[in-house]
Amino acid sequence: MSTPSGFDELIHPSTRLSVVALLAATEWADFPFIRDSLSLSDSALSKQLHTLEEAGYLEIRKEGGGRKRRTKVRLTSRGRTAFEGHVAALRAIVEGAGPAAAAAPATESAAAASGTGPQQQRAEAGR
């Protein structure tokens, strides 16, 4: 199976996907809110934000100074488009697995109806 159009290797790792999904639901988010929502350390979150910012997916804004300095983050339009494309690609992958997954239960039902289901097969193997 080929990778669907829109699948984004940069967003795909679970931590980055979680960050982008959280930001997709809001206009701006404070660094502590993201960190606490995703149970990440400051350094782990900073690294992921930096990677996404370098790709042009995030805008990071620092406000205030000294101890009152706040870091706010938002998805750029490029980041939002990439996220939406990635979600669509993941849906295509999951839906592509649907017919094969749906066939398995039907096969098991047919085997059970014919008396050759897993329990019957185990019983016969024990003879």
Angle, helix 14-24 to helix 31-38, in steps of 10 degrees: 130
Per-residue pLDDT tens over the stretch 62-85: 998 888 899 999 999 999 999 999
Residues 89 and 95 sit within 8 Å (Cβ to Cβ): no
The first and second tokens of residue 101, run together, are 């997954």
Per-residue pLDDT tens over the stretch 25-64: 999 999 999 999 999 999 999 999 999 999 999 999 999 8
Q: With H, G, I as helix, E, B as strand and everything else as coil, classify residue 61.
A: strand
d(CA 9, CA 13): 7
d(CA 51, CA 45): 10
Question: What single letter denotes the amino acid at residue 105?
Answer: P
For residue 20, give the nearest of 81, 108, 79, 93 by alpha carbon: 79
